[in-house]
């Protein structure tokens, strides 16, 4: 009796060779979530952190009814900060509004900046306006990457009330922060946003200037439609 493709993948996921397991996991890309998730679960506790990371990401892009609970459990309990960060990121890909409280709590309570960064990014990805307070606090972090994540996320949730809070970053010494600001302002149609983008359009860094032009174009289209 010839093995089905799913059976072959399942067998390969049990190989003692890490490369075989990684290839098998990657091959689930074109498999339906319902068929893929039971196989992904086989390697969620693999000895290889790299493979576990791949599996967690896969749960985020292969949503089934059980993926949310699996990812929350990993985020709340795994001892490895990289794995917790992966789980936080995967929850953002799921886009499940139930993740808001879990991600907010993670931002406030986790001690590792990478996990908090992933939580902030995912709060933007799930586009929940309740994230305002968490993200405003992230703006005040001493970690530049957390400031970047918060600025981007505030743009993602189209938080008009945050414009005054993020405009101070137009003077940031870090061009990536200024670029994130320019990108976010394109989702925040206010007169202050337009003024700031015209200022950032003259930025010495080409990435910032280009992002500003794109955002200005987006806001102009919105004005025309209105």
Q: For 15-58, what is each residue's pLDDT tens digit?
A: 999 999 999 999 999 899 999 999 999 999 999 999 999 999 99
Q: Residue 161 pLDDT > 60, yes or no?
A: yes
Q: Residue 146 pLDDT > 50, yes or no?
A: yes
1: confidence class by pLDDT, cuts 50, 70, 90: very low
Cα(123)–Cα(44) distance, integer angstroms: 24
What's the token pair of residue 151?
A: 């600025």
Cα(93)–Cα(61) distance, integer angstroms: 6
What's the token pair of residue 158?
A: 């189209």
CA pseudo-torsion sign 13, 16, 20, 25: positive
> Terminal CA-to-CA distance of the chain, rounded, Å?
64
Cα(204)–Cα(195) distance, integer angstroms: 17
pLDDT score of 126:
95
Q: Residue 3 pLDDT > 60, yes or no?
A: no
Q: Mean pLDDT for the chain?
A: 95
Query: Residue range 82-111: average pLDDT?
Result: 96
Cα(121)–Cα(148) distance, integer angstroms: 9
Q: What is the pTM of this model?
A: 0.91
pLDDT score of 166:
98
């Amino acid at each position: 009796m010839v093995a089905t493709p799913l059976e072959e993948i399942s067998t390969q996921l049990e190989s003692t060779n890490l490369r075989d397991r990684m290839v098998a996991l990657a091959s689930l890309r074109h498999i339906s979530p319902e068929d893929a998730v039971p196989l992904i679960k086989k390697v969620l506790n693999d000895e290889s952190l790299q493979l576990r990371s791949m599996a967690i990401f896969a749960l985020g892009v292969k949503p089934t009814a059980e993926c949310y609970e699996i990812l929350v459990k990993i985020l709340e309990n795994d001892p490895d900060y990289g794995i917790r960060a992966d789980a936080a990121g995967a929850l953002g890909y799921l886009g499940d509004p139930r993740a808001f409280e879990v991600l907010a709590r993670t931002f406030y309570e986790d001690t590792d900046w990478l996990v908090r960064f992933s939580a902030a990014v995912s709060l933007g990805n799930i586009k929940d306006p309740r994230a305002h307070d968490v993200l405003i606090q992230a703006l005040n972090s001493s970690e530049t990457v957390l400031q970047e994540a918060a600025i981007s996320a505030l743009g993602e949730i189209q938080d008009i009330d945050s414009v005054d809070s993020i405009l101070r970053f137009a003077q940031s010494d870090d061009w990536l922060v200024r670029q994130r600001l320019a990108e976010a302002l394109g989702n925040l149609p206010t007169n202050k946003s337009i003024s700031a983008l015209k200022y950032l359009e003259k930025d010495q860094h080409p990435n910032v200037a280009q992002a500003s032009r794109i955002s200005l174009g987006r806001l102009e289209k919105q004005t025309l439609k209105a």
